[in-house]
Structure 1
Amino acid sequence: MVKKQMKLGAFFFLPGHHVASWRHPQAEVHDTWTISYLTQLAQTAERGKFDNIFFADVFGQGVHESSLSGIKLDPLVIISALAAVTKNIGLTATLTTTYNEPFHVARKFAAIDHLSGGRAAWNVVTSQNENEAQLFGKEQHLQHANRYARAEEFVDVVKKLWHSIEAEALVIDKEKGQFLDITKTKKVEHEGKHFNVTGYLDTPSTPQGHPVIVQAGSSEAGKELAAKTAEVIFTAWQTLEDAQAFYQDVKSRLAKYGRSEEDLKVMPGVFITVAKTEEEARRKQKELNSYISPEVGLGYLSYFIGKDVTQLDPDSSIPDFGVNEEDVTNPNTRANIIKNTIIQNGFTTLRELYEHIAGARGHREIVGTPEQIADQLQEWFENGAADGFNIMPPTFPQGLNDIVDLVIPELQRRGLFRTEYEGTTLRENLGLKHPIAQQVVHTN
């Protein structure tokens, strides 16, 4: 019997997941916007046999003199470029359903899936940051419940567009003069609360059937959307018990949508600092934390807890913070995770807290040797808490190199992770089904 193996994503957050990564002496910050550097990182992740590279995206972040300020390139453009310099690794980019239209998203991801040979994935988000509304000329940001209702219909329309012209419709018979089998096309005629879309996507269905659908979210609405539409879900948990409860909750929702547990891969984020000895790993962690200025640390913390603490002494006690009253349908799940982190670790000062979340941002943090890292990943994987993990290197390129050179070989030695890719598409490597082509009837 073949041993079940975990799935691993490489979460690219450049120049590193740690809030002060850009200040690290080895950080190649100026190269973050160059294709040569991005190619190097992508090929390193592919050498490590990662399932996919994942790029998050948020608009409307403030510009600050002493921090990275969320300055980055469009991830969709990045994965388009990386498709040409990689062969097996999946390419995942984030696009919001709140400030896009279904046709745009369907067309762009279909193109990347074709050009990459079936390695594209769309991370579906609904835009948590209220500042995004101003960038798109909106007077007010949609409330949490309305964003998720829009997202559900949005994904439905995108799927219809992706399959409006099935790949099998392309006959291309030069002798007979037949380009399409029109019976394998279906005109989209969608009338809904949020969208009215009529027509075809001008792209045939892709090598994967359609790109893999990814989602990150742990609210009630997020879990329900994931159960209905997602094939991979990224999430954040600190303890085995909480991760197990989330895993079971999401998996138990699949049956009512006609889906099996294998149709959705749960991949919690894990922030890893690894070295050959635990002492060296702790030293790396401490060094990175030493680069956090109080201004940046307090600003970073304010964003995650939803309360402005920037004017407080970093060594003062942690104030109480609660649910955002302006959006009562949003449970502020990440803020609740941070509250639990305070209790579990006994933190008493703001400095202790912002140093703790400076890289992991509410995700699980593991510091230690390759064996110690593997032990903890294996525990979650083999005890119903995860199908795999979204790995968050503290710095690039060194943090990623350390994980590929130290952690991956240990997981492979234990038979927990692949030594070669199983297939040529992301869907094959993740062990996901190829979407069944819809039964179509031609509509003029």
Structure 2
Amino acid sequence: MGEFVIKMPDVGEGVAEAELVEWHCKVGDPVREDMVLAAVMTDKATVEIPSPVNGTVLWLGAEIGDTVAVKAPLLRIQIAGEGGEADAVPMAETVTIASSSPQRREGARRADEGDAPPSLGQLSPSSDPAGHLLPAGEKGSRAAPDTLAKPLASPAVRLRAQDGGVDLRQVTGTGPAGRITHDDLDQFLARGAQPSILPVGLARKTTVEEIKVTGLRRRISEKMVLATSRIPHITYVEEIDVTDLEDLRATMNASRKPDQTKLTILPFLMRALVKTVGEQPGVNATFDDDAGIISRHGAVHIGIATQTPAGLTVPVVRHAEARGIWDCAGELVRLAEAARTGSALREELSGSTITITSLGAMGGIATTPIINHPEVAIVGVNKIMMRPVWDGSQFIPRKMMNLSSSFDHRVVDGWDAATFVQRIKALLETPALIFIES
């Protein structure tokens, strides 16, 4: 018998380390070639690490949340024959987002169960009580679920169970070491088993749940600390009458073609941003404060803050200056869906030059957006409300919306910030100007 060492692979150009966000095995587990062993994260994307050999896990080199350097030993596997070592070959990158969509569940199922390629298809992930892999068609004994112990399941399975109100302690796992898979959950629900409903009473609760900050949540935390500690923010709030814009939007949606995406207010704001930064290029910029260099960008790459099941991500609509209103709308929908389902690519989550953030109908009256470092400006969209507006002789109902915009005061002066927002206001209040080429 020999020992095979798997090292942390080079997960991206210029990346010296990555965070371990998930193990798919533990010491003593049998593994086979191409089975997913772990997942690591860098720059808001995860990379799955497969096994290059068949064997048994002897040692794990890190805990979830640890940062592991490239080329550092990640795990050791006992194999038949002579030992060796190699850098793992990472699988395709995906956004670290757990979702209950069918595509994500299928991807998670493959990761949970370590599906082998066709050449190894004679094996299944089932195991006997001793933990040995069984040939396909032979199932190990199914032990009754332990109602006290915490059930073994991946984060994706736990999320599905939580969304469906299922107590995983009532589900029998058929995976290695009794691990509950997506198929187990599907079969549990197919049998008509009802989600457990616990009685609600007035009782004191003394439990404390400690949650380690890892993965995307750690990245968000670090980004927010960086932005607020290094950027002196100035926030400017302005009220905008969007009545005419909403009428135009309704007219355009009523006559849109079948292949055109329904317009929201964001594509109009994106086009207004493009025209405005053409007049004020200092706002479409990034600031390297270590080098003391401001980079004014000709390209307008607009980041769109998007909430996902795993947390906030910022997919980027690249070259908005070259996109029409319908193109902006279609790209917005595509990127938002990719971010939420976990299929966004690395280049779709980086490189923005200015950001828009919107909470939609929950947008509140005003917000104080935090700048997406190293950018120098962010535009926050608040909800549209019908308000009485004095026209000089009477109050009339108008659709009003506030824009809450923050700027890096080291780079953008208050007067320039106000000029920027007032120009956007003029474009949105007279939306025909958005379509006039200057």
What TM-score, normalized to structure 2? 0.20
Structure with greater proportional strand content: 2
Structure with greater proportional helix content: 1
Q: Which of structures 1 and 2 has the larger relative contact order (alpha carbons within 8 angstroms, sep 6+)?
A: 1
What TM-score, normalized to structure 1? 0.20
**Structure exhibiting the larger radius of gyration computed from Cα positions:** 2
